[in-house]
Structure 1
């Protein structure tokens, strides 16, 4: 194999690993935020509603307390 080909393969692999790391990090911190918000909602006697969009790695959260919606 030529040196240029090996270099392009290495750059491709490093790019893939970096992208996977960034996606995993975003997902981890989203889950931690949802856990914290859900725990706080339960502490005030509410019901947590979470909608997650895995494709865009986003979510929406609301807390319903006595039919009143609280959005953080």
Structure 2
């Protein structure tokens, strides 16, 4: 392979690896945040209501009190 081809493949691979890492990190911290908010909601006597969007890695949280 030519040097330019190897360099291009390396850059593409690094970009892909970085993207996967960032998406995984965001998903992990969203999960931690939802779990903490749910625990606090249960402590206040409420029922957590969480709606998660798959493709945007977004969520909506509300605590419905009884």
TM-score (norm 2): 0.98
Runs of 4+ in 1 over 4 A off after TM superposition: none
Unaligned segments of structure 1, at least 5 residues: 67-72
Please give the secondary structure, in 1, of the residue aligned with 2:49: strand
Match of 1:27 in 2: 27
* 2:12 aligned with 1:3: no
Deviations 1:5-33 (A, max 9, x none): 00000000000000000000000010000
How many aligned positions are there?
66
Structure with higher helix content: 2
Match of 1:59 in 2: 59
Q: CA deviation at 1:59?
A: 0.1
TM-score (norm 1): 0.90
Unaligned segments of structure 2, at least 5 residues: none
